[in-house]
A and B are shown apart, each in its own frame.
Chain A
Amino acid sequence: MNFTLKIWRQESAKSKGKFVVYNVSNISPDCSFLEMLDILNQQLIDKFEKPVCFDHDCREGICGACGLYINGRPHGPDEDITTCQLHMRRFKDGDTIVIEPWRGRPFPVIKDLVVDRNAFDKIIAAGGYISVSTGGVPDANAIPIPREDADLAMDAAACIGCGACVAACKNTSAMLFVAAKVSQLARLPQGRIEAKERVIKMVAKMDELGFGSCTNTGACEAECPKNISISHIAKLNREYIKAKIF
């Protein structure tokens, strides 16, 4: 297969970026999207040009490092996957593919397609955990948890922190990311104890870092590679209101 690629190139955070057009040919349909970029980079290195920088690590859809805006969609055209799990068989031969970094003020570009998602770490640091230190905890089976709750907690916990929800949102809201953690912990008896402080601190940090508000468009849910439901945002809102009022 042959493709025309329009890729965002930007030397550094401070420099101005632009789209550059490249062509790749003889790409196997079984090739992954990032492997296709590897092939492009090899072409560039052959000419002693700087390869296109993009974040990636596990290449199996779980570390959350990769994240490209492909033809206007975070993680590209396929459903429920990360960029690294996207394969070229999802495109048509001869397609032009536009590749951009995550957009959004809280995720500034570092270089080319690499952005700084440090803000997510800061939100978690503000309270996205149960404050338990190592040792001195009860036996694991001392706290039975209804299976339904455990399953819902796991659904939320599946978040990989890739940032597609923010990139997809017209307000660059991080509500789905924050909701996933708040909802996971709020559904577990261990997590209830700090539920109030947690939700207040995490939301405050999110606001402080410049993420926008949620206007319920559902774009985050549609683009989430782990299929995290916006019902968790509803849960977050309930938790937040409860914490503020009671």
Chain B
Amino acid sequence: MIKPDPRIPEGPLAEKWTRFKATQKLVSPSNKRKLDIIVVGTGLAGASAAASLGELGFNVKVFCYQDSPRRAHSIAAQGGINAAKNYRNDGDSIYRLFYDTIKGGDFRAREANVYRLAEVSNNIIDQCVAQGVPFAREYSGLLDNRSFGGAQVSRTFYARGQTGQQLLLGAYGALMRQVNEGNVTLYTRTEMLNLVIIEGKARGIITRNLITGKIERHFGHAVVLATGGYGRAFFLSTMAMGANGSAVWTAYKKGAFFANPSFVQIHPTCIPVHGDFQSKLTLMSESLRNDGRIWVPRKKEDAEALRNGTKKPSDLTEEDRDYYLERRYPAFGNLVPRDVASRAAKERCDAGYGVGSGLAVYLDFSDAIKRLGKKIIEERYGNLFQMYEKIVDQNPYETPMMIYPAIHYCMGGLWVDYHLMTTIPGLFSIGECNFSDHGANRLGASALMQGLADGYFILPYTIQHYLADEILTPRMPVTLPEFENAESESKERIHKLLNIKGKQSVDQFHRKFGLMLWELVGMSRSQNTLKKAINEFAKLREEFWHDIKIPGSNDELNPELEKAGRVADFIEIGELMARDALQRHESCGCHFREEYQTDDGEAKRNDEDCMYVAAWEYKGHENEPLLHKEPLIYENIKLQTRNYKI
């Protein structure tokens, strides 16, 4: 048996999910009421899962650190959600969505999971429309679509530039309906601190009430983590300020394998960094690349003049502009996948052609405005343009936007099998916090698809297969020693943090660490930078635990304490990211190792040695983690070098 075993059902690819559902174990309605499920996180995955499980009749407890489930960071997703509806008659199909997703992920995702994702994608759109999600429509009254990177069909459904918001509010409505009916109990402003394992199975969590500081114990026959990505490790990112990796990190330390931690997506179109006081980066949706053209000056002297303000972008003629994506990748042009677009921007800026601070390129709508008129551009992107103008104080209808890549999404996450279960029985991981579907690079409009696929249509089936064997397990009292111990562990950690009373604030520390992570384990990595990162992060961890300063106590709303716990985990996650990037002797997707590139600077994959999922097992504080390799087998798709040129 392969360890870890992905438990992929037998049979042809297109029949696996159908066969699984037809033969899986189910739980009868009367037994469902006796089973408790804990869901941590209320983004697309968590809210849709909690709602769906509540509807089925399970007893669900759902937790979020925000003051309302509606604020989870899925809300900020802008551009859209993919589905293989083929409403445009442009050649789309489940197979093509599957194919594009595997190829977009640079052949580092599992065939069976991705096929299932493509298969249920259509149900998601149906479900959301039934919930009243106001997707964009044509004059016929039927649904509209737009194009996104990495695809040659238009399969992206959208609700202006607020698709994530509308989908989340749909799931939130469904969740609140279950809260109202008493099937789901909601805990807001509550953070998970620890996982409780009893006889090898996940049986509960320890939480902290963020207002009172009260530490609480919760039992569940199964625990579902839907806690999102760990991209905030970099300090500057497009993630929410509170987004963190602590729940998955706790699970990892309790025995759940962590897969591909180094696969972190860097999104090409974000508003550039503009000052050292900055707390957060803002994404400008990929959908803008439908109509915007990306360019830098062709001549270095022009770039210089634009940087010091002696020239304006409009002073440059067509001949003086380098539309480098259209030049390098004629077939996909401005719609190449994110990793390719990000690296190309970095390459131009590193070579001295950057504008703004030097770390920015133009995203120009003047052609589109000429072609379509300002009104249509406003309809399509109005809220994004407004957002840009408020931050940068420039009008993108009149002067090109400036953009630069930023940390945006984690493809890596807890290792899960086909059932979305981690290596700890009874612990499931859904949405961004698992590793499953995007390989080494996620295509645009696929995160919303995956979050909702997991929560609405996959987990409610697979979790029953597990719970069918738990119907005789009675609810356990939270006075068991396992709960006791987990609670003491968490309390001790808080006590320790509060009593360091050092010199540096959490933010000062986080900023410093984030910058190092960006430089050493960011868009471009090498053996040298990664070895340095592992060393430096170990030192930084020591420093953190001796020099952090947290005012206030545990028994109150104390954001500094919350942040400290998260940053302590980020440093450790950063170390694992570096280890993971170091062991992968290739460049693939977002993971670019300077040692492995072609003559023209493209990523050089190594299918011979690296066609595996790297699944890391925690071996204790003092020891190095153990690497397991789950081989990736491509039976239905021909391996090829990703080529967006022709």
Interface residues of A, Cβ cutoff 8 Å to B: 11-12, 28, 30-32, 34-35, 38-39, 42, 44-46, 48-51, 53, 55-65, 78, 80-81, 85, 87, 89, 110-111, 114, 116-118, 120-121, 124-135, 137-141, 143-147, 150-151, 153-154, 157-158, 160-161, 184-185, 188, 190-191
Contacts and interface: CB of A to CB of B under 8 A. Distances in A.
Contacts of B73: 57-58, 63
B68 A120 contact: yes
Interface in B1-60: 48, 51-52, 55
B70 A161 contact: yes
Contact of A35 (B134, B138, B139, B279): B279
Given A64-B70, A111-B557, A158-B162, A143 B132 contact: no
A192 to B, nearest CB: 10
9 contacts: A48-B501, A58-B75, A60-B282, A118-B188, A121-B176, A124-B173, A135-B123, A140-B129, A150-B135
Interface in B105-153: 123, 125-132, 134-143
Contacts of A129: 131-132, 173-174, 176-177
Interface in B597-643: none
A130 B130 contact: yes
A62 B137 contact: no
Contact of A30 (B174, B275, B456): B275
B55 to A, nearest CB: 4
B236 to A, nearest CB: 11
B68 A57 contact: no
Contacts of A150: 134-137, 141
B552 interface: yes
Nearest to B166: A157
A78 B386 CA distance: 12
A19 B52 CA distance: 46
A80 B172 contact: no
Nearest to B78: A62
Q: Which of A89, A126, A137, A140 has its CB near the most chain B CB atoms (within 10 A)? A: A140
B67 interface: yes
A45 B563 CA distance: 14
Contacts of B138: 147
Given A130-B131, A135-B456, 13 more contacts: A32-B391, A51-B551, A59-B280, A64-B75, A65-B67, A87-B391, A114-B557, A121-B70, A131-B177, A133-B55, A137-B130, A140-B128, A188-B134
Contact of B460 (A48, A116, A134): A134
A213 to B, nearest CB: 24
Contact of A144 (B136, B142, B280, B387): B142
Contacts of A121: 68-70, 176, 179, 186, 188
Given A50-B552, A139-B126, A190-B132, A65 B393 contact: no
Contacts of B490: none
A39 B505 CA distance: 12
Interface of B: 48, 51-52, 55, 66-73, 75-76, 85, 87, 123, 125-132, 134-143, 159-160, 162, 165-166, 169, 172-174, 176-177, 179-180, 186, 188, 211, 238, 240-242, 274-275, 277-280, 282-283, 386-387, 390-391, 393, 456-457, 460, 501, 505, 507-508, 549, 551-552, 556-557, 559-560
In order of increasing CB-CB distance, the 3 nearest A-B pairs are A129-B173, A144-B141, A137-B130
A53 B172 contact: no
Q: Which of A35, A45, A134 has its CB near the most chain B CB atoms (within 10 A)? A: A134
B551 A45 contact: yes
Contact of B240 (A57, A78, A85, A143): A57
A117 B211 CA distance: 13
A56 B240 CA distance: 9
Given A126-B180, A147-B141, A80 B386 contact: yes
Contacts of B241: 56-59
Contacts of A46: 505
Contact of A141 (B142, B211, B280): B142
Nearest to B212: A12
Nearest to A126: B180
B160 A154 contact: yes
Contacts of B68: 64, 117-118, 120-121, 161
A31 B559 CA distance: 21
Contacts of B240: 57-59, 63
A65 B71 contact: yes
Q: Which of B67, B180, B551, B556 has its CB near the most chain A CB atoms (within 10 A)? A: B67
Contacts of A140: 85, 125-126, 128-129, 135, 143
